[in-house]
Amino acid sequence: MTQSPTASIRPGRSARAGRLGATGLGFALPVSLFLLVAFDVPVLMMFGWALTSAKGMFAPFIEFFTRPVYLKVILNTLRIAAIATVACAVLGYVLAYWLRSLSGTARLVALTLVVLPFWVSILVRSYAWIVVLGNNGVVNRGLMDLGLASEPVAFLYNDLGVVIGTTNLLLPFLVLPLYAAMIRIDGRILQAAETLGASRWTIFRRVFFPLTVPALAAGMVLVFILTLGFYVTPAILGGGRVPMVANMLDMLINRLPRWELASAISIILLILTVLLHLLYVRLSRQAGN
Amino acid sequence: MIFTKRQLLKNSAGLVALSALGLRAGPSRAAAGEFRMIEAGGTSGESIEKGYIVPFTEQTGTRVLRESPSGLGKLRALVESGDSSVPLLEVSSPELYQAVALDLVEPIDWDVVNPDPMFDEAKHEYGFGYQYYSTVMAWGEGERAPKDWAEFFDPEALSGKRTLPDYAAYILPMAALAAGSSIENIYPIDLDKAFESLERIKDSVSVWWQAGAQPPQLLKDKEVQYAAGWSGRVAGAPGMEFTYQQGLLDLAYFVVPKGVDPELKKAAMGLLHEMSVAKNQAVAAEVVSYTGPSPDLEKLLPQDRIGEFPTTTANKNVQMFNDGQWWFENADEVEQRWQEFKLTL
């Protein structure tokens, strides 16, 4: 930004600088511009492929809706995402609740253990599951040595494998905000309920749980959105048997290469994600209040 | 400094946007000092390095930067973004025909390459066939060997889990063979028959693999007992056995992306020449047991491991040769049916 030398003596300057700082707009400008040029413009150009297809303006969209295979893959992706979300919610809620009950060092250690997997690459973690859950893996050998299974249990290379891998990766995204919401709950509200004669179960059901629902729902939407775009986990733990949309896009982009169709599918996926994101924003606002 | 920035830009999708805004980088000034090539990666990439790049750089002083993996998507991205810095890119035989049809490649300058004697099918107008590889049946040590693909595809005759390629072109010919097609008349492939075979076996298939390293690993981990895998990965690997009987022989090509810097293309033709030299091919085959296109190669290969190579007379005669042209012409129908089949798993 260029400014005339006289600008420094104009009285309005400091006020303006103050306003910039207050709204944060001035600070956000460089990164916004960068995102606009390096991310938004390429995304829009990518949309252009679908709309300027040689076969006609909406040809890739028509192909998407008339050939059932693409829709089926998206539905399958939604199904896997829903299962993974529920798994995350159940496990995550119990974990966050337990974290809340800890104090001091124990809480710090437990929280660190929750965050720790973030520091390990997705690829490494996905392969680690092969070592743990494979036919010849630790769990299956244990089960067979104990006589609990006569032949290896198929944990991997199916829906279950993908759900296990996905849940493991995304659990922190749900646990951390949920835990934050749980410790914000005023202990006196719970005590008040207790003085009024409510049982522990009633307190949980009618006071504690409703207060955590917005954070839980926001976390679930977040996990759902993230699962929609998962690529590495289905590729490794799905054994090529669990078709998901990111893997289908990879094929359309890199192998065929049918960019027009890939672009149309991406647009549809993006619209879906934006809608879910709006839901997330609404829910997390509620959680914040 | 400027160079690394350019490298970065070219590797990022951002270049598409930048070039559209008129900020495209000028023609390469590195001239023939070095050039980039995109290849399949893995041990195959190492064999290119040792067999061909090392002697090429010694003779010409030109350095070659390898990048991987390759694919039609990358080829299209290079051409459409106007990137002229990659004179060589590896494709499979069906991809070669598709690349020609999509107008993404330039003819090979065979006069400049001036190759040593090569098998005919390796000298394509638009592609230099540099590496033969096969898709073969393999099984874990101690398992009963399958007689043929018919038995391989029959879960009752041969019990045990399988891993098959997640690539239609590398498994449908075998599936058709298993359903009664003959090796001489495998093309045109009877798709109905081929998918019938796949339907019969699908419940015994644990993994549909995408990376060549998967089949040997799955065999070693006893995750599967039988595999259809790439010869260079299973031949001679510990803990497993394989056969070239009824294998699917194929040829990988190098192509020249359209609009490449002419100086770089000229330099790259020199590297292709090195790839036609039997002595260099023998060095590459030591790294991974895929073979080059020289008819004189067989006697230079290590004789104690001669059974591991796909193009020795003994092995070539018992295999079928993949027909890239047919795959290209039927790509749409095959891909559609393949995806629909995958959804029923």
Separation of alpha carbons B342 and A90, rounded Å: 31
Picking from A27-31, A256-260, B20-24, B317-321, which range would have the lowest pLDDT averaged per residue? B20-24
Q: Which pairing describes strands B105-106 and B240-257: parallel, antiparallel, or unpaired?
A: antiparallel
What residues of chain A lie within 8 A of the CB of B17, using their CB?
37-38, 41-42, 45
What pLDDT sits at residue A13? 47
Task: Select from B265, B280, B300 the last residue of a domain.
Answer: B300
Tell whether B76 and B143 lie within a shared domain: no
Tell whether A270 and A210 lie within a shared domain: yes
Tell whether B179 and B202 lie within a shared domain: yes
Tell whether A47 and A126 lie within a shared domain: no
Tell whether B213 and B164 lie within a shared domain: yes
CATH of residue A105: 1.10.3720.10
Tell whether B206 and B319 lie within a shared domain: yes
Tell whether A141 and A161 lie within a shared domain: yes
Tell whether B240 and B266 lie within a shared domain: no
Tell whether B71 and B141 lie within a shared domain: no
Answer yes or no: are the C-beta atoms of A227 and A162 closer than 8 Å.
no
Q: Specify the pTM.
A: 0.85
> How many structural domains does chain B have?
2
CATH of residue B270: 3.40.190.10
Q: What is the residue-averaged pLDDT of chain A?
A: 88
What pLDDT sits at residue A102? 92
Q: Which domain holds residue B108?
A: 2-131+252-300
Which residue's entry shows tokens 């991205």? Answer: B77
Query: Is 90 exceeded by the pLDDT of residue A142?
Result: yes
Tell whether B198 and B147 lie within a shared domain: yes
Tell whether B110 and B256 lie within a shared domain: yes
pLDDT tens digits along A1-14: 344 444 444 444 44
If pLDDT is split at 50, 70 and 90, which confidence band does A21 have? low
What pLDDT sits at residue A111? 92
Give the pLDDT of chain B (345 residues) as one tens digit per residue.
333 433 443 444 444 444 444 344 444 444 569 999 999 998 999 999 999 999 999 999 999 999 999 999 999 999 999 999 999 999 999 999 999 999 999 999 999 999 999 999 999 999 999 999 999 999 999 999 999 999 999 999 999 999 999 999 999 999 999 999 999 999 999 999 999 999 999 999 999 999 899 999 999 988 999 999 999 999 989 999 999 999 999 999 999 999 999 999 999 999 999 999 999 999 999 999 999 999 999 999 999 999 999 999 999 999 999 999 999 999 889 988 998 898 888
Higher model confidence: residue B108 or residue A15?
B108
Tell whether B88 and B190 lie within a shared domain: no
What pLDDT sits at residue A284? 83
Separation of alpha carbons B35 and B62, rounded Å: 8
What residues of chain B lie within 8 A of the CB of A254, using their CB?
71-74
Tell whether A105 and A176 lie within a shared domain: yes
Picking from A239-243, A272-276, B29-33, B150-154, which range would have the lowest pLDDT averaged per residue? B29-33
> How many structural domains does chain A have?
2
Tell whether A228 and A141 lie within a shared domain: yes
Half-sphere CA count of A93, side-chain side, radius 13 A: 18
ipTM of the complex: 0.82
Tell whether A85 and A135 lie within a shared domain: yes
Tell whether A29 and A104 lie within a shared domain: no
Tell whether A3 and A120 lie within a shared domain: no
Tell whether A239 and A178 lie within a shared domain: yes
Mean pLDDT of A115-126: 88
What's the Rg (C-alpha) of chain B? 21
Answer yes or no: are the C-beta atoms of B47 and B233 closer than 8 Å.
no
**Which of A241, A249, A266 is the best residue to mutate to test the B interface, defined by the most B CB atoms within 10 Å of its own CB?**
A241
Residues 6 or more apart whose CB falls under 8 angstroms from that of B114 comprise B273
Residues 6 or more apart whose CB falls under 8 angstroms from that of A144 comprise A150, A151, A152
- Give how far B208 is from chain A: nearest CA, Å: 5
Tell whether B102 and B216 lie within a shared domain: no
Tell whether B170 and B316 lie within a shared domain: yes
- Give how far A71 is from chain B: nearest CA, Å: 11
Query: Is 90 exceeded by the pLDDT of residue A18?
Result: no
**Which residue of chain B has the CA closest to A248?**
B339
Q: Which domain holds residue A39?
A: 1-51
Tell whether B226 and B325 lie within a shared domain: yes
| Contact state of B336 with A41 under an 8 Å Cβ cutoff | no
